[in-house]
Amino acid sequence: MKYLVTGTTSGIGKCIKQKLQGHELFEINRADIDLNRPELLLSVDLPVVDYAILNAGHDLGGGVPFADHESVSIQKILNCNLVSNVLITQKLLKNNPNTVIVLITSTNINRQYPNNVIMMLICQRQKRNGRTLKGRAVLQSD
Ligand SMILES: NC(=O)c1ccc[n+]([C@@H]2O[C@H](COP(=O)([O-])OP(=O)(O)OC[C@H]3O[C@@H](n4cnc5c(N)ncnc54)[C@H](OP(=O)(O)O)[C@@H]3O)[C@@H](O)[C@H]2O)c1
């Protein structure tokens, strides 16, 4: 089986890499592409794989009240944790529509964090069918 894993330099991704010893593994790390800059992916050819584990991510500014977030941090978080994963997923599915894609996120997705913009956006997305989230930073559902 052929695997692609992002963010294998530490933590969960490093453990996954160890578990996949013996399999054909294609890694994407910051030294290859800074996933805070998804535009870099546009000119990259990805391999045909059976499984992809999109693990790379960070939360610069996590836990910081929304009003205090630096806009550059918001951009980096969304670029790495969301936009890059969407682009990688699209490229992989073009290569092989049967690729099994695993996205590593957080159990925090099940909770509401009114002062955390990223969690607010994720919860908003989950509840986009009409409900409005309430908190210090209120975002309307789309
Ligand atoms: N561990 C937890 O309790 C927990 C909880 C909630 C969610 N998560 C999610 O689970 C995933 C793995 O977490 P972890 O705890 O294993 O974190 P970690 O030890 O910090 O590992 C994150 C990996 O992502 C890579 N990465 C971060 N920003 C990148 C960028 N801009 N471009 C390319 N690679 C980048 C890191 O590379 P560098 O070494 O170059 O920084 C590292 O390899 C993340 O998506 C995280 O948000 C983890």
- The reported pLDDT for the residue numbered 84 is 97
**Alpha carbon distance 13, 6 (integer Å):** 7
Contact 58 CB / ligand 1 (< 6 Å): yes
Q: How far is CA 68 from CA 46, 55, 118, 136, in A?
A: 37, 27, 13, 12
Phi-psi sector, 68: left (phi>0), alpha (psi -120 to 50), beta: alpha
- Domain residue limits, the chain: 2-105, 108-142
Q: Quick check: CB of 30 below 6 Å from ligand 1?
A: yes
Q: What are the Cα distances from residue 71, in Å, to 60, 62, 77, 88, 105?
A: 11, 13, 10, 24, 21
- pTM above the 0.85 mark? no
pLDDT of residue 6: 98
pLDDT one digit per residue (tens) for the chain, 142 residues: 999 999 999 999 999 999 999 999 999 999 999 999 999 999 999 999 999 999 999 986 567 777 788 889 889 989 999 999 999 999 999 999 999 999 998 766 666 666 666 666 666 665 654 443 333 333 233 2
73 lines ligand 1 (CB under 6 A): no
Q: Ligand 1 pocket check: which of 6, 29, 32 to mutate, most ligand atoms within 8 Å of Cβ?
A: 29
DSSP-based three-state secondary structure for 111: coil
Residue 124 Cβ < 6 Å to ligand 1 = no
How many angstroms separate the alpha carbon of residue 13 from the centre of ligand 1? 7
2-105: which CATH topology?
Rossmann fold (3.40.50)
